[in-house]
């Protein structure tokens, strides 16, 4: 007969004794069950720890994202402030340049007026009859009946001066003479030309529509109305020609304002 091998099974006894006088209970717990229970408890603890770790890690990630977003926003604001400061600097530089150019134009205008006055004085002192400036045909009058602003200075490429009218008034003859042309040209709906008979010709050019008050062949006196300025800010390009060559009108007409 074969001998049966008996497996040795470890177990633990638990004795529960009641304090109320009831019967005591005695339990047998195998060691394998206790091991499984221990493993289960460990697994539960590990799972709880893993969940807690990931929860905390996700919280840190969200916080880092918030911080990164705030940093990005602050960086964008700083960049915008820097760009605005740069634009302000450019505008201030442009303003300074415009102020400087305005001062230069004012200085040049004063110098030209002084030169015109010197020319007039030298003509008076030269003798030999009445100075040309006192001749009614000499185109020395300002060609506008009201106050106007000279906005363009004479040069070889710009052989006239531009006057911006500020109020309603008349464009007038700078000297006595004969109207030799009333018409239009390139970029000018109206051009009036006067021959003064002393080597001088004056030309009144209107970039905007204007109505002439004179006709070809008409004799006009100094200050006679040539065209009516019906609107504000009408521009007049005024040209003086002496012996067939354009000259700076500032040295021959008496500027007003």
The pLDDT score that the predictor gives to residue 3 is: 56
Distance CA(239)–CA(248), nearest Å, equals: 8
Structure tokens at 29: 């717990």
pLDDT of residue 70: 78
Q: At which residue do the structure tokens 């529960």 appear?
A: 16
Encode the chain (257 residues) as per-residue pLDDT tens digits.
455 555 555 655 655 566 665 666 666 667 677 777 788 888 888 888 888 877 777 766 666 666 777 788 888 888 888 888 888 888 888 888 888 887 887 777 777 777 766 665 555 454 444 445 567 788 888 888 877 777 878 888 888 888 887 667 789 999 999 999 999 988 899 999 999 988 899 999 998 888 899 999 999 999 999 988 766 667 889 999 998 999 988 888 653 43
pLDDT of residue 128: 41
With beta carbons less than 8 A apart as the criterion, state whether 150 and 163 touch: yes
Burial class of residue 32 (count of CB atoms within 10 Å of its CB; 0-12, 13-18, 19+): exposed
Strands, E assignment, the chain: 11-16, 25-30, 148-152, 161-165, 169-172, 177-185, 188-195, 200-206, 211-212, 219-220, 225-229, 235-242, 245-247
Which residues fall within 8 angstroms of residue 31, CB to CB, at 6 or more apart? 9, 10, 11, 12
């Amino acid at each position: 007969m074969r001998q049966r091998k008996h497996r040795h099974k470890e177990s633990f006894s638990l004795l529960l004794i009641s304090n109320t006088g009831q019967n005591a209970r005695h339990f047998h717990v195998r060691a394998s069950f206790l091991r499984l229970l221990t493993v289960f408890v460990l697994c539960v603890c590990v799972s709880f720890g893993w969940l807690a770790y990931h929860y905390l890690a996700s919280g840190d990630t969200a916080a880092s994202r918030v911080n990164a977003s705030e940093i990005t926003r602050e960086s964008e604001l700083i960049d915008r402030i820097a760009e605005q400061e740069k634009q302000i600097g450019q505008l201030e530089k442009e303003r300074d340049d415009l102020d400087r150019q305005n001062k230069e134009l004012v200085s040049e205008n004063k110098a030209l007026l002084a030169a015109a006055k010197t020319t007039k004085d030298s003509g008076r002192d030269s003798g030999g009859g009445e100075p040309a400036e006192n001749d009614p045909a000499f185109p020395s009058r300002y060609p506008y009946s009201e106050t106007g602003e000279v906005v363009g200075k004479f040069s070889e490429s710009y052989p006239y001066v531009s006057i911006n009218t500020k109020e309603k008034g008349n464009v007038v003859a700078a000297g006595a003479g004969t109207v030799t042309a009333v018409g239009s040209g390139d970029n000018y709906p109206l051009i009036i030309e006067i021959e003064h008979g002393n080597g001088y010709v004056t030309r009144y050019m209107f970039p905007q529509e204007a109505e002439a008050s004179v006709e070809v062949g008409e004799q006009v006196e100094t200050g006679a109305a040539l065209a009516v300025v019906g609107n504000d800010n009408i521009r007049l390009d005024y040209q003086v020609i002496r012996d067939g060559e354009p000259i700076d009108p500032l040295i021959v007409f008496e500027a007003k304002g």
